């Protein structure tokens, strides 16, 4: 089998227009009267797209009964055949049919159903599960398999059928559609459709053909992306805070798709690379295998081609000798990865995505998390000073360019600061043989889970230090197993899992003693000023460090 003729012809070549697209296929079989095409696959060029949300969808049961509603039709077809009622003698027969938008199968973003209705014999039902080339240019692949080489015309009578031609017309717009179905590329570079075909008798041999048209009038396409952004959160606006940041790019229907996008962040944000403990390699991103610890945030895309927005995690990508890049892993019916670079522009952080596919997006949102491992750090209090702005520079598939500058909404200003834990210390008897140290730590915004105290060097740990330790809370007493004091002066308290509002640790009974220098000082003075360090972790995971000054009494 060979493809003797193939063409893809839009009713208009205007970039971004909504034409009827006519696909003509013709097949030759040499001297064979029994072979026939079994499977064809159309590989449409990037940007020549069908919108599955343009119409209502026909159910599987209605399709199988040929009862698809008229408002689910997205095209029509004519199939030319040779029918061999007598072996070796083919009679030309043409049959018309309809193409419907079916309820998708959960794996593919769209499924087309084709019903061919010959004048004699049974109807032919075919499906085309449509997919996007997510590892390439995001063009559509549309296969049609199990095309018949025989048909039943009366009772048990079956005759051979050889398909010689197929004509498909995919609709641009029709009355009653919610949106146009077919759309031309928004780029004006040559658009080539490739056809693969295999036959029943030579399934290992693929016949190929191609057809090219060049879109026109790219200069007439609108292109005006808009940009909005927010940053900050309660407790995450001060200098050196790890600041959450969200930037969203939106476009109106009918605009040229984006080819490249650069978003420049406010001058008050810097890269806190040291907080990012894990990076994803480029190979891991390509394989959709980035470690969870490398996640920086979440990206969300909305497209007229999709019924719902699609989300994916954003990861920090290793780029040796450079700032980490960003990569997004999307899943579901659109399993693809999108990589971007980070750098500086005029001293400001900038995220750049290039080589974007010719696919319409109504919005693209990139949200970077705050928190201890957040990528972005405030270089000043973002609630004060000049109003922050975000800048965007965009290049269209059509070649047009656009820029946008937008104010950044700062969240969390004026919000009450999170209450921090605090501590008080009582120290007596340090001029004698049995000093006593009492440390009380009270919770901040959340209950305490662990408390660690580093004693000053002026207080030494005794040989029998475990015997003089105790710790109590409001409704509990810690067991000896939950209290430890190292010879280097580190006291650790492991509090109940539910947390504690306060805890008081007592060190006495030989657990500690004054250093020689402290004793000398207390011989001449009744008191001495000292300082210890308290570190806490609360039930929300928040860490705090307190440097507590206290007075040691003789």
172-187: per-residue pLDDT in tens? 999 999 999 999 999 9
Q: Between residues 535 and 157, which one has the greater pLDDT?
A: 535
Q: What does the pLDDT read at residue 508?
A: 87
Residue 192: band (very low, low, confident or very high) from pLDDT cuts 50, 70, 90: very high
Q: What does the pLDDT read at residue 464?
A: 67
Distance, in Å, from the CA atom of 439 to the CA atom of 428, rounded to the nearest integer, reads 12
Residue 326's beta-bridge partner residues? Answer: 316, 340
Helix (H) or strand (E) holding 300: strand 295-302
Task: Supply the mean pLDDT for the chain.
Answer: 92
Highest mean pLDDT among 318-322, 418-422, 424-428: 424-428
Share of the chain above pLDDT 90, in %: 67
Share of the chain above pLDDT 70, in %: 98
Q: Between residues 468 and 438, which one has the greater pLDDT?
A: 438
Residue 304 sits at the vertex; the CA angle it makes with 300 and 310, to the nearest 5 degrees, is 25
Q: What does the pLDDT read at residue 416?
A: 59
Q: Which of 455, 468, 446, 457 is nearest to 536 (CA)?
A: 446
Buried/exposed 124-162: b ≥16 CB within 10 Å, e otherwise: bebbbbbbbeeeeebbbbbebeebbbbbeeeeeeebbbb
Q: Is 70 helix (H, G, I), strand (E, B) or coil?
A: helix
Q: What does the pLDDT read at residue 543?
A: 87
**Domain 226-410, CATH 1.25.40 — does that match?**
no
Residue 14: band (very low, low, confident or very high) from pLDDT cuts 50, 70, 90: very high
Asked whether residue 80 carries a pLDDT value surpassing 90, the answer given is yes
314: which 2 tokens?
A: 């954003």
Residue 333: band (very low, low, confident or very high) from pLDDT cuts 50, 70, 90: confident
Asked whether residue 98 carries a pLDDT value surpassing 90, the answer given is yes
**Whole-structure pTM value:** 0.74
Q: Is 71 helix (H, G, I), strand (E, B) or coil?
A: helix
Q: What does the pLDDT read at residue 418?
A: 62
* Domain 422-553, CATH: 2.60.40.740
Q: What does the pLDDT read at residue 461?
A: 87
Q: Report CA-CA distances (Å) from 46 to 16, 141, 158, 214.
A: 12, 10, 42, 12
Asked whether residue 195 carries a pLDDT value surpassing 70, the answer given is yes
Q: What does the pLDDT read at residue 465?
A: 62
Sign of CA dihedral 376, 225, 331, 351: negative
Residue 273: band (very low, low, confident or very high) from pLDDT cuts 50, 70, 90: confident
Q: Between residues 44 and 386, which one has the greater pLDDT?
A: 44
| Cβ neighbourhood burial of 438 (10 Å; 0-12, 13-18, 19+) | middle
Residue-wise pLDDT for 477-501, tens only, equals 999 889 999 988 999 999 998 899 9
Q: What does the pLDDT read at residue 374?
A: 86
CB 309, CB 302: distance < 8 Å: yes
Q: Which residues, 6 or more positions from 192, have their beta carbon under 8 angstroms from its beta carbon?
A: 45, 210, 211, 212
Distance, in Å, from the CA atom of 113 to the CA atom of 52, rounded to the nearest integer, reads 12
CB 265, CB 376: distance < 8 Å: yes
Q: What does the pLDDT read at residue 167?
A: 98
| Cβ neighbourhood burial of 346 (10 Å; 0-12, 13-18, 19+) | exposed
Asked whether residue 413 carries a pLDDT value surpassing 60, the answer given is yes
Q: Report CA-CA distances (Å) from 155 to 64, 81, 158, 340.
A: 20, 21, 8, 62
Give the mean pLDDT of 195-204: 96
198: which 2 tokens?
A: 């295999």
CB neighbours (10 Å) of residue 25? Answer: 25
Question: Rg for the chain (alpha carbons), in Å?
Answer: 36
Asked whether residue 417 carries a pLDDT value surpassing 60, the answer given is no
The string of DSSP letters for 448-506 reads EEEEEEE--TTEEEPTTGGGGEEEEESS-B--GGGEEE-TTSEEEEE--TT-BSEEEEE
Residue 360: band (very low, low, confident or very high) from pLDDT cuts 50, 70, 90: very high
Site of tokens 């699609």? 310
Highest mean pLDDT among 114-123, 222-231, 366-375, 545-554: 222-231
Give the mean pLDDT of 256-275: 91
Q: How much helix, strand and coil, in percent to the nearest 5, is found in the chain?
A: 5, 50, 45
CB 248, CB 363: distance < 8 Å: yes
| Phi, psi (rounded to 5 degrees) for 274 | -65, -20
Q: Report CA-CA distances (Å) from 424 to 81, 174, 416, 502.
A: 94, 77, 24, 11
Q: Which residues, 6 or more positions from 111, have their beta carbon under 8 angstroms from its beta carbon?
A: 102, 103, 104, 105, 127, 128, 129, 130
Q: What does the pLDDT read at residue 500?
A: 92
Give the mean pLDDT of 71-82: 97
Give the mean pLDDT of 358-373: 91
CB neighbours (10 Å) of residue 449? Answer: 21
Give the mean pLDDT of 374-401: 93
Q: What does the pLDDT read at residue 276?
A: 78
Asked whether residue 3 carries a pLDDT value surpassing 60, the answer given is yes
């Amino acid at each position: 089998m060979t493809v003797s003729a193939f063409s893809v012809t839009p009713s208009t070549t205007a970039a971004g227009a909504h034409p009827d697209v006519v696909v003509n296929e013709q097949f030759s079989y040499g001297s064979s009267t029994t072979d026939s095409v079994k499977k064809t696959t159309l590989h449409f060029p990037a940007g020549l797209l069908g919108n599955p949300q343009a119409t209502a969808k026909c159910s599987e049961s209605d399709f199988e009964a040929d009862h698809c509603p008229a408002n689910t039709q997205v095209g029509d077809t004519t199939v030319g055949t040779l029918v061999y009622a007598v072996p070796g003698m083919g009679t030309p027969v043409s049959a018309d049919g309809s193409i419907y938008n079916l309820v998708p199968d959960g794996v593919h973003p769209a499924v087309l159903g084709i019903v061919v209705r010959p004048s004699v014999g049974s109807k032919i039902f075919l499906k085309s599960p449509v997919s996007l080339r997510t590892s390439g240019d995001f063009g559509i692949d549309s296969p049609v398999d199990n095309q018949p080489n025989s048909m039943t015309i009366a009772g048990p009578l079956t005759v051979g059928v050889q398909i010689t031609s197929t004509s498909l017309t995919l609709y641009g717009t029709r009355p009653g559609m919610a949106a146009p179905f077919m759309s031309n590329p928004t780029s004006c570079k040559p658009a080539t459709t490739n056809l693969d075909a295999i036959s029943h008798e030579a399934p290992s041999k693929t016949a190929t053909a191609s057809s090219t048209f060049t879109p026109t009038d790219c200069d007439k396409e609108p292109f005006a992306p808009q940009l909005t952004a927010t940053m900050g959160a309660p407790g995450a606006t001060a200098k050196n805070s790890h600041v959450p940041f969200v930037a969203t790019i939106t476009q109106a229907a009918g605009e040229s798709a984006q080819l490249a996008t650069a978003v420049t962040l406010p001058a008050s944000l810097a890269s806190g690379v040291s907080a990012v403990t894990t990076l994803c390699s480029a190979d891991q991103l390509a394989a959709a295998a980035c470690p969870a610890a490398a996640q920086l945030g979440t990206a969300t895309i909305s497209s007229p081609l999709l019924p719902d927005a699609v989300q994916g995690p954003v990861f920090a990508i290793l780029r040796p000798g450079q700032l980490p890049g960003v990569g997004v892993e999307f899943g579901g019916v659109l399993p693809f990865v999108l990589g971007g670079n980070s750098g500086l522009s005029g001293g400001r952080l900038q995220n750049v995505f290039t080589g974007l596919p010719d696919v319409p997006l109504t919005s693209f949102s990139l949200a970077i998390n705050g928190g201890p491992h957040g990528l972005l750090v405030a270089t000043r209090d973002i609630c004060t000073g000049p109003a922050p702005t975000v800048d965007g520079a965009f290049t269209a598939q059509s070649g047009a360019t656009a820029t946008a500058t937008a104010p950044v909404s700062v969240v969390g200003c004026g919000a009450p600061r999170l209450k921090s834990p605090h501590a008080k210390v009582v120290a007596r008897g340090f001029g004698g043989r049995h000093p006593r140290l009492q440390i009380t730590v009270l919770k901040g915004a959340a209950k305490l889970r662990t408390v660690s105290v580093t004693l000053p060097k002026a207080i030494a740990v005794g040989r029998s230090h475990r015997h003089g330790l105790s710790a109590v809370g409001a409704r509990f007493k810690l067991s000896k197993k939950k209290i430890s004091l190292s010879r280097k002066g580190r006291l650790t308290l492991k509090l109940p899992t539910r947390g504690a509002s306060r805890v008081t640790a007592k060190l006495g009974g030989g657990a500690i003693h004054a250093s020689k220098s402290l004793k000398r000082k207390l011989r001449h003075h009744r008191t001495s000023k000292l300082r210890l360090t308290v570190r806490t972790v609360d039930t929300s995971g928040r860490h705090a460090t307190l440097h507590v000054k206290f007075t040691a009494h003789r």
